[in-house]
Structure 1
């Protein structure tokens, strides 16, 4: 096996693990023949990571910024030690090695479609332009992509922040589409349906042949906002951490339940709300997989549980097509961006 293809040579400690599991990576800007160096323009923290940081620091933007900078400086990557998650980035290709298989060339503006938890990263501006109030971080620095990394050239017809938000969660609608298309007109429930991955998953489920879609949200405001888009046949409200409330709100068990909630403790509600023989797809990085497995066992729930790993062939193209072709999805993304900038 070619260890440089998966970035093993960039692991500083502990020895023998792959970059995602490493405590510290080497972000040396000098590239190997199969690597790519990217000039970083913007980081996008995943929702679970940003929520954890926001909660831990009581919403103090300066403290949030300081901790993100410390993580990157100490670990050579953005890898939240509490949530285990990171995010992704946008940047411009600086240099490509002659043996890189990624098909990128200098000057390409790209989004990385692999996690920041395994991407060697260094920033050189102290995150001075970030106010700490949103998941997107304008910054400068560099990142390294390996031969087995994934990246996509940004579309010219969408604003960069919007394209980055879509690509950050593009694995969710792609896997949802694959699961739904393999079934005969299933009922699909999405927990966290008004968020980025949730709204895209609703739209993907409908396109893939869902008989009915149900969107579950936690607040009256999100219920109103999602209902206005028409993305779900039914919109219901419940705390996704309350299993009985989730099952009661849905009313009917779903054939497919997609979990897109960025807080811990939603595993049992999703399992309880899924019909025998059904499928639960976990996309949130806040998911506890021991809780999911043991919870299903304790409920004698005959359900298949899938971990959304963020990659399905064609996932970026599918998600971008949804944001272009589904006004309801775009409306939710635009509203989210507006709320973040106003906070």
Structure 2
């Protein structure tokens, strides 16, 4: 096979579009697992036919993973060492405690002749698939990262599969800002869909509560809910400092303050703000919010869990124990057009952009 960039000839290497050929364990001859479930991935730079190799500029660790690493390791230097150790051991960035990773920005440096991703050498892209399933090599020891923030300057390379998803970076936004938006772009897309379904089913817009409304995914979800016809948007935050930020952003009709880990407090805060909610979107990066989200949601309503800190057994068993007739959705990070939707929300809503820029 001929490389799309180098012109060198390599043996025929036909890859599986979901990346099974990159899984190193368990023994692929006896047990097949997807790259996300695998412990180790093959990170060799030579491409299979449908792959793309990206020169990495920056990683964006997901919020739940970064929080856990900071809590366990304390100092930024120790966090940096922990991330390096994970990538070196596993061939990908997958926090062994949270199971989550993040995404990256980089420049396409080689495209397999069978690739269908529509990318060209030189494109600056953000990957819209998780680092938990992306073969990754760090070549600079993360020397430019102090371990104090979720965005990680990095020199190395990553490999995308035939069914990976990547988006070209827009020219009108800073790369770091685009990366932050694309990292959470699944949340506003699913929020839009669920609100539209409620409107079509009932003829009225839903009451939407977003837990963690001043955060990145939360602010985008509030903006998306309003544009999708919500009759009332409720932003729930943990303390008054966050409440002031969210009020200044103007994204929620009502801002409520409650500890989302206290189910009664969350239920009462949403009720006092005009709930219960027809749609509750959970966008916080701390565990223990499942019961409160269920209690804050009306019978027949929907809870969307957009947090890697969610315990899905706790959510399911908790709803059963509360005799709560609610639909619960796992926040899939992918939906057609999700990146463009999220970037357009940022452009149109100054409050969203301000919250993103305040968080860096």
User: TM class by shorter-chain length?
Assistant: over 0.9
Q: 2 CA distance for matches of 1:40 and 1:319?
A: 23
Q: 2 CA distance for matches of 1:230 and 1:38?
A: 38
The structure 1 segments of at least 4 consecutive aligned residues displaced by more than 4 Å after TM superposition are none
Structure 1 residues 282-338: Cα deviation after superposition (integer angstroms, max 9, x where no partner): 00010000000000000000000000110010000000000100001001001111x
Structure 1 residues 177-201: Cα deviation after superposition (integer angstroms, max 9, x where no partner): 0100111310000000000000000
2:190 alignment partner, SS class:
helix
Q: Residue 80 of structure 1: CA displacement?
A: 0.2
Deviation larger for 244-253 or 100-109: 244-253
Does the CA contact (< 8 Å) of 2:15 and 2:49 recur in 1? no
Structure 1 residues 13-46: Cα deviation after superposition (integer angstroms, max 9, x where no partner): 1131000000000111000110000000000000
* Alignment pair present for 1:50 and 2:66: yes
The runs of 5 or more residues in structure 1 that have no matched partner are: 338-343
Please report the TM-score for the alignment, with normalisation by the length of structure 2.
0.92
Aligned equivalent of 2:220, options 200, 205, 212: 200
Q: 2 CA distance for matches of 1:33 and 1:74?
A: 26
Aligned equivalent of 2:287, options 233, 248, 264: 264
Specify the alignment match of 1:176 in structure 2. Answer: 191
Specify the alignment match of 2:318 in structure 1. Answer: 295
1:37 alignment partner, SS class:
strand
Specify the alignment match of 2:307 in structure 1. Answer: 284
Q: 1 CA distance for matches of 2:354 and 2:141?
A: 33
Aligned equivalent of 2:353, options 309, 330, 333: 330
* Alignment pair present for 1:233 and 2:233: no
The runs of 5 or more residues in structure 2 that have no matched partner are: 1-13, 200-204
Aligned equivalent of 2:123, options 96, 99, 108: 108
Q: Residue 3 of structure 1: CA displacement?
A: 6.0
Specify the alignment match of 1:341 in structure 2. Answer: none
Does the CA contact (< 8 Å) of 2:287 and 2:310 recur in 1? yes
Q: 1 CA distance for matches of 2:93 and 2:357?
A: 26
Max Rg structure: 2
Q: 1 CA distance for matches of 2:40 and 2:261?
A: 33
2:359 alignment partner, SS class:
helix
Q: 2 CA distance for matches of 1:313 and 1:140?
A: 30
Does the CA contact (< 8 Å) of 2:210 and 2:221 recur in 1? yes
Alignment of 1:70-85 (within 5 A): 70-85=85-100
Specify the alignment match of 1:8 in structure 2. Answer: 20
Please report the TM-score for the alignment, with normalisation by the length of structure 1.
0.97
Q: 2 CA distance for matches of 1:149 and 1:19?
A: 12
Specify the alignment match of 1:143 in structure 2. Answer: 158
Q: 2 CA distance for matches of 1:30 and 1:221?
A: 50
